[in-house]
Amino acid sequence: MPINYYIFLSVCLFSIGIVGVLTRRNAIIIFMCIELMLNAVNLLLVAFSRMHHAAAYALDNSTLVGSEAQIFVFFIMVVAAAEVTVGLAIIVMLYRNIHSVDINFLNRLKH
């Protein structure tokens, strides 16, 4: 499959994520949209990794080109997991105080 399909798919997913972050009011859903953005990136990284690998493989069949993007994906997963632990803890802390996860509540600081 040409690389354009992958780019199109991940840009779609990424845009859905951005639109979700900007329009939804529920903290958990915003959070899921951010995860969607990260996973769109993961998908695109793997696709690019395959593309660069295939190009280098034609010249030299012992090449490691492209493997660094796969490693990057693992790092993104680890960091996303760390963010989830902190983020959910913050949302739970908020829920304990106001019994809601609606971010419209959060406009007390504006004055």
Partner 1 sequence: MNAIIFSAVWGVLMMYTGFFVKSRNTINLIAIAGIVLLIICNVHEFISGMSLFSIDTKGMLFHSNFGLVFLLIILISTLMYFLLSGNDINAAGKSSSDLYALIFFILSGIGVVAGFKSLLMLFLGIEIVSIPLYVLAGSDKSNLKSNEAALKYFLMGSFSTGLMLMGITLIYGDTGSFYLDAIKAGLSVLTPMKAAGLLLVLASMAFKVSAAPFHFWTPDVYDGAPTVFTSFMATIVKSVAFYAFLHLFDNAFGNLHEDWKNLVAVIALLTLLIGNITAVFQQSVKRMLAYSSIAQAGFMMLAILSLNVFAKQGLLLYFAGYSIATLGIFAVLVKMKDHSVDAFNGLSKTNPIIALSVLVSLLSLAGIPLTAGFFAKYYMLLAVIREGHLMWLVVTAVLCAAVSIYYYFRVIQAMYFKEPTNILTLEFSSTFKWMMIINAILIIILGIHPDIILSLI
Q: How far is the CB of 31 from partner 1 (least distance, A)?
A: 7
Binding of partner 1 by 29 (CB under 8 A) = no
The radius of gyration of the chain from alpha carbons, rounded to an integer in Å, stands at: 19
Residue 103 engages partner 1 in binding (rule: CB under 8 A): yes
Question: In sequence order, what DSSP letters do the residues of 2-46 get, joined into one string?
Answer: -HHHHHHHHHHHHHHHHHHHHH--BHHHHHHHHHHHHHHHHHHHH
Kindly report the three-state secondary structure assignment for every residue of 70-92: HHHHHHHHHHHHHHHHHHHHHHH
Is residue 97 at the binding interface for partner 1, with CB under 8 A as the rule?
Answer: yes
Let me know: does 11 contact 52? Beta carbons within 8 Å.
Answer: no
# chain residues binding partner 1, by CB under 8 A: 42
Site of tokens 């796969």: 70
Least distance in angstroms from the C-beta of 9 to partner 1: 13
Three-state SS at 102: strand
**44-83 mask for partner 1 (x: CB under 8 A)?**
xx--x--xx------------x--xx-xx--xx--x--xx
Residues that bind partner 1 (CB under 8 A): 3, 7, 14, 17, 21, 27, 30-31, 34, 37-38, 40-41, 44-45, 48, 51-52, 65, 68-69, 71-72, 75-76, 79, 82-83, 86-87, 89-91, 93-94, 97-98, 103, 106, 108-110
